[in-house]
Structure 1
C-alpha cells in the first residue's frame, strides 16, 4: 500500500513539474509575442489616402476617376501638390475630367503640376506662369544643342552679330550672353517632356517676361541666336559675358592717338615800302 502511495506521489510530482514547465514555456512565448506586437505597433506610421494613377498616363491624355485610385501614403512623406486629405481631385460642381501635362507611370502620385484644372485643355497657356509670355526662337542642329533639348530644360541665350561703328570700342562680330536660365516650354509643336531620342527642332518656345520678349525679338532680327543647355541641378547665375574677335584672338586694342588741334592764328598783310609784312591779330570767328 505504501508502495502504491509512493508511486502515486511520484507521478503527481512529475505531472505537477511538467505542468509548471509547460506553463512557464507558454507564458514565455506569450510575452515574446506581446513584445513583438508592441514593437510592430511602434513602427506603424500614420497614413493618408492619396490619389495615384491606375495606369501609365501620357502627355495630353484626358483621364477621369476610373484612371486613378486612393492608396494609403505615409503622412510625413506626401509629395508636394498631391491630392490628399481635404484637397479634392474632383471638386463638386466642376467637370470630372482633367488632362495630363506631364507623363506619369502606374502607381505614381497625381500631382497638381502634372494635370490641368478640371475641364481645362492641355494647351501651351497652361504652362505659362503669371506675368510670363511664350516666345519662339529659331534653331538648327548647332544652335539647338544637337536636338537634346526638352520642354522643362533651362538654357542660356547667346547673340552673335555685327556691332555698329558708333559703338566703335570693338570691331567685327561680337558674341554676348543676353538671357540666362530661360525655361523651355515647347519643342516645335510639342510641349511633352518625354520625347524619345534626339529631336532636331526648327523652333523652341521659351517662357520669358514681356521686356525679355522685346530683347529676344531684336536680337533674333539683328544677329544669330545660340542656346547653351543648363544642368538640372545647376543653380549658378551667369554674369555678363561678351567676346569679340580681338578678345578671342588675344589681340591688344590699338591705341588711337588723339589729334591735337592746332591753335588758330589770324593775320593781316601790310606793305612797308617794298616789303610785305604779316601782322597777327585776334581772331573774330
Structure 2
C-alpha cells in the first residue's frame, strides 16, 4: 500500500477518534448538568425512628429526589435535629415538617397533643383493647357498662352506654404498675385524644364502670345517637325480633328469620313410649 495513503488514513482515524471523544465529553457533561439541575437533596431517615423519639444527627441522611420536591420536605439538618417525631419514620423516607413536633416542644406523647386537647389514659386488657388491634392513629368508640347509682330497676340489671364516639388513639402499649402487694405488674394502657369535658367524663367512667373500646373505620367519622341498653332488655321478644341493619345489604334491613315454636307431647301406650311434636297453633287446637 502507498505510504502516503496509509498516513492519510491513520490521520483520518486519529482525527475521527479525537472528534468523537470531544463530542462524548460535551454530551456527557450536558446530561450530567441537566441531571444535577433537576435533583434536590432532602433530609431523610437513616433508620426506622419510632414515634416520640428526638431526632439526632445519627438518625438522618440525605437522598436525591428528581423532579418536584414533596411539600414540606426539609433540606437542612438544622431544621430536623432536636425535634420530636410525631409519627413513625422509616429508613430512606424523606422527613416532612408535618411529621415533626415544633422546635422546643420536645418529644414523647406530649408533642402529639393538639392545642385545646388532652391525652387521657385508659387501663385496659387485651379484650377491652380490641385484642391488640388498637394502634396509634386508629379511632374508637368508648362504651361504659355498669349499674346505675341510686335504686336501679332490678328487672333491667346492668346497663351499657356509648359514652364517646370517634375518638383518636394517641398511643397503645404496656406500663409497669404495682399491685396491692407492691409487686410490679404489666398493664395495658391506651391514651385517647379528648377535650377537657370528655376527659372528665372518661375519668369518671373508668373509675366507676367497666370500659370497652370499639374499633371503627378511620374514614367513618359520623356520630350517631345510640340508646342505652339494659341487660333485661336483651332477653325480651322485642330485642330478638328487632331488625338489624347489615352494611353488606344496600337495599334495607336484615331481619332474623322467625323460628317456629313447637310443643313436645309424650305418648304412653302400654309399655311403649313415644314423643310427638306439634306446632304451637296445632297444640292449642
What TM-score does the superposition give when structure 2 sets the normalisation length? 0.57
* Superposition deviation, residue 97 in structure 1: 3.1
Q: Structure 1, residues 206-258: CA drift from partner, whole Å, max 9, x if none? A: 111000011112211221110011223333334324211233122569xxxxx
Alignment partner, residue 48 of structure 2: 57
Matches of residues 246-257 of structure 1 in structure 2 within 5 Å?
246-251=232-237
Q: Is the 8 A contact 1:144 1:201 kept in 2?
A: no
| Structure 2 unmatched ranges of 5 or more | 1-34, 176-185, 240-285
Query: Is 1:150 equivalent to 2:142 in the alignment?
Result: no
Aligned 8 A contact 1:147 1:201 in 2: no
Q: Does 1:207 align with 2:193?
A: yes
The gaps in structure 1 that reach 5 residues or longer are 1-43, 191-199, 254-285
What is the RMSD of the two structures over their aligned residues, measured on CA atoms? 3.4
Question: Which deviations, in whole Å up to 9, do the C-alpha atoms of 1:132-166 show, x marking residues without a partner?
Answer: 01111111122111122112211110010112456
Larger radius of gyration: 1
Q: Does 1:78 align with 2:63?
A: no
Change (3 A) 1:61 1:90: closer
Q: TM-score, normalised by structure 1?
A: 0.57
**Residue-pair matches, total:** 192
SS at match of 1:172: coil
Q: Residue deviations 1:79-132, cap 9 Å, x none?
A: 4x4336xxx6635xxx94334332222331212232233454212210100100
Taking the TM superposition and a 5 Å limit, the aligned residue runs for 1:171-190 are: 171-188=156-173
| 3-state SS, counterpart of residue 228 of structure 1 | strand
Please give the alpha-carbon distance, in whole angstroms, between the structure 2 residues aligned to 1:179 and 1:231.
15
Q: Is the 8 A contact 1:53 1:67 kept in 2?
A: yes
Work out which of the residue numbers 216, 225, 228 in structure 2 matches 1:239. 225
Match of 1:98 among 83, 86, 100: 83
For 1:159, the equivalent position in structure 2 comes to 144
Matches within 5 A, 1:213-232: 213-232=199-218
Deviates more, 1:169-178 or 1:145-154: 169-178
| CA distance in structure 2 between the aligned counterparts of 1:107 and 1:132, rounded to whole angstroms | 32
Query: For residues 193-217 of structure 1, what are the alpha-carbon distances to aligned partners after superposition, in whole Å with 9 as ceiling and x for unaligned?
Result: xxxxxxx952211111000011112
